Structure 1
Amino acid sequence: MMSETARGMSAMIAATVIWGLSGLYYKLLAHVPPLEVLAHRTLWSLLFFGGLILAQRRAGDILRLLRRPRDLALVAFAAVMISTNWFLFIYSIQVGHAVEASLGYYMFPLVAVLMGVVIYREALSRLKWLAVALAAVAVVVLTWGLGVGPWISLGLAFTFGLYGVVKKGLAAGPIASVTAEVLLLAPLAAVWLFGVHKLGWEGLVGRNLGVFGSDLSTSLLLAFSGVLTGTPLVLFAKASRSLPLGSVGVLQYINPSLQFAVAAIAFGEVVTRWHWIALPLIWTALALYSAETFRQDRVSRRLARSVATSATTET
């Protein structure tokens, strides 16, 4: 029988492996315009999460979340951020910038830390400030060396970072909040697909018209995108409840590491010398950030045990 920690570790590793290898899946849909893939991903995700919510009899959570004006505004903003993040990832795979996508997810934890300082006035230790500074140097190196800013990387990191900031302010579980997000996005996705299939919108930019229903393999791939989106999130939610924050943070780096390997090996993307200068800077930053997170996590748990022991003794 596996312990709760072992189950959490297994769930977290499974989630990050699915995320890390998902580029291979979306490469199979490279012939479908990214907005069409995004629209299908949104609608099929709604079906997946809606099924979970109904099975758990938690539809009331969604209604309560969308009924409160403040929460509705937060959910709407989160929906825009996650859909933009999904689009950028799909787009990066299609145009041969999967290396940039992996860099974005390497940068995300450090961007999230910086947002915590700016928005929530969270205090950072010297090591975490050093980690953020090294990540900033890596961005400067890439911008200087490539002659253009790593906009896909920064876009992915900041949209996911802002998404996390908003989720922190929602009084709802991850499954309920994501269901609410895709529920708000679903009408836009449906309108886009109607325009693509019936009005030929994508034909205006020289791309294929709606392919769903005309090609069985492509149709099945588009439909399965909901499962591919939902499954790792469910696993991640389970792992987050079972593991210390530091462990969750470190294991998340499996995702961009696999993304980078897929981009360089499976897709054959060129990794320039500027990438090889920037990557060690980011890896060093992540190592410092992770080590400090583990240290702070140990201190917090030791303090919590000490408080609990003192309370027991006094009783």
Structure 2
Amino acid sequence: MPLFAVPSVKSNSLGLLAGLCAFLIWGFLVVFWHMLDAVAPFEILCYRIIFSFVSLLPVVMLTRRWAEVVSAFRNRRVALTMFASSCVVGLNWFLYIWAISTGQILETSLGYYTNPLMNVLFGFLFLRERPSRLQGIAILLACIGVLLSFLGHNQFPWLALSLAFTFALYGFIRKTVSVEALPGLFIETIVLIPFSLGWILWLYWNGEGFLCSPAVREGFLLFLAGPVTSLPLVMFAYAARHMRLMTLGLLQYISPTCTFFLGIFMFGETLNPTALVTFIFIWLALLLYTVESWRQTRHLPH
């Protein structure tokens, strides 16, 4: 069955439900990570990696994907590529958690709104994919928005662009190897788990960190960091195989939109006029990007 085939109405409905749930979970994760503000961001990252491994292990075994994991490690090029993707996704996760813990939620929203445009830019720079006229205009509008943010505050939105850049780079690296999402994430947790365990043990040895003063609430949330990482990925993987590409592309805006409204109405972040203008330029760019994506995907066989 083709990757984005729609074999039946029931399959399409289940795919849509899975996709909605995945992007809603990703959108509301900002609330989850904010509840862990008593734990240092890098320590949260370490526990996220450890418990992601724990939660993914039975899924990989039950779905019989272990052979794919072993095969990836046996191929030197694939193994090195997955090591690189592990480092990049680890950096992306850390930046996201750190941004939330330091009250920069709107920056994360801006970053993930910018991500599709960053993907187009990566395709142009590294894969020689020539952007269409509308895509070129979209990238130009996004650049104008970023420039206005810099001129308005004399501050470059490095965090938003770093999130977009690392996520686009992660996608680019993963595109170079034929490892699917579920076994791929499991491999990445395997690569990162020694460093995570080492950091937590080092903190404990020095009388610091969560293990030295454990709390039930934070302990439970840290344990849940694994499932809330792996569950939406499994849902997304299912949705990708049972939905049309255009529909899936539209759903990706749910997450940063949720984060945007949560940042303003739940966490009280201020959307100043300059930031609003920046967002408007990004939204206009995404509108052009979406129109162009629709024009391209409507010609694909379903």
What TM-score results when the alignment is normalised by the length of structure 1?
Answer: 0.91
**1:2 Cα deviation from its structure 2 partner:** 5.8
Number of the residue aligned with 2:23: 16
Tell me which amino acid in the other structure corresponds to 2:178.
A
Q: Distance in 2 between matches of 1:245 and 1:114?
A: 20
Runs of 5+ consecutive residues of structure 2 not aligned to the other structure: 1-7
Q: Distance in 2 between matches of 1:2 and 1:246?
A: 16
Secondary structure of residue in 1 paired with 2:210? coil
Change (3 A) 1:75 1:212: farther
1:29 aligns with 2:36: yes
Q: Count residues in correspondence.
A: 295
Secondary structure of residue in 1 paired with 2:116? helix
Tell me which amino acid in the other structure corresponds to 2:29.
S
Secondary structure of residue in 2 paired with 1:271? coil
Runs of 5+ consecutive residues of structure 1 not aligned to the other structure: 204-208, 306-315
Number of the residue aligned with 1:274: 274
Number of the residue aligned with 1:5: 12
Tell me which amino acid in the other structure corresponds to 1:134.
L
Number of the residue aligned with 1:155: 162
Q: Distance in 2 between matches of 1:133 and 1:3?
A: 41
1:70 aligns with 2:77: yes
Number of the residue aligned with 1:192: 199
Tell me which amino acid in the other structure corresponds to 1:125.
S
Tell me which amino acid in the other structure corresponds to 1:275.
A
Q: Distance in 2 between matches of 1:9 and 1:136?
A: 32
Higher relative contact order (CA 8 A, sep 6+): 2
Task: Compare CA radii of gyration and give the structure with the larger one.
Answer: 1
1:92 aligns with 2:108: no
1:110 aligns with 2:117: yes
Q: Distance in 2 between matches of 1:170 and 1:71?
A: 6
Number of the residue aligned with 1:182: 189
Q: Distance in 2 between matches of 1:143 and 1:246?
A: 33
Tell me which amino acid in the other structure corresponds to 2:246.
G
**1:95 Cα deviation from its structure 2 partner:** 0.5
Q: Distance in 1 between matches of 2:48 and 2:206?
A: 21
Change (3 A) 1:132 1:63: same
Q: Distance in 2 between matches of 1:69 and 1:213?
A: 42
Tell me which amino acid in the other structure corresponds to 1:278.
T
Secondary structure of residue in 2 paired with 1:269? coil
Q: Distance in 2 between matches of 1:297 and 1:81?
A: 29
Number of the residue aligned with 2:236: 236
Q: Distance in 2 between matches of 1:97 and 1:218?
A: 22
Number of the residue aligned with 2:263: 263
Q: Distance in 1 between matches of 2:299 and 2:277?
A: 34
Q: Distance in 2 between matches of 1:26 and 1:190?
A: 20
Change (3 A) 1:115 1:212: farther
**1:211 Cα deviation from its structure 2 partner:** 4.3
Q: Distance in 2 between matches of 1:56 and 1:238?
A: 13
In the alignment, is the contact (CA less than 8 A) between 1:211 and 1:219 conserved in 2? no
Q: Distance in 2 between matches of 1:136 and 1:243?
A: 32
Change (3 A) 1:73 1:270: same
Q: Distance in 1 between matches of 2:175 and 2:267?
A: 35
Q: Distance in 1 between matches of 2:14 and 2:213?
A: 39
In the alignment, is the contact (CA less than 8 A) between 1:212 and 1:218 conserved in 2? no
Tell me which amino acid in the other structure corresponds to 1:59.
W
Number of the residue aligned with 1:60: 67
Q: Match for 1:48 among 40, 52, 55?
A: 55
Task: Summarize deviations over 1:273-304 as a string: whole Å, max 9, x none.
Answer: 11110111111111110111011001233xxx
Q: Match for 1:172 among 159, 171, 179?
A: 179
Q: Match for 1:120 among 120, 127, 141?
A: 127
Task: Summarize deviations over 1:18-50 as a string: whole Å, max 9, x none.
Answer: 000101011110110001000000000011111
Q: Distance in 1 between matches of 2:83 and 2:254?
A: 29
Q: Match for 1:130 among 132, 137, 158?
A: 137
Tell me which amino acid in the other structure corresponds to 2:12.
T
Task: Summarize deviations over 1:148-193 as a string: whole Å, max 9, x none.
Answer: 1111101100000000011111112100111001100000000000
Number of the residue aligned with 1:313: none
User: Aligned residues: percent identity?
Assistant: 32
Change (3 A) 1:72 1:212: farther
Secondary structure of residue in 2 paired with 1:300? coil
**1:57 Cα deviation from its structure 2 partner:** 2.3
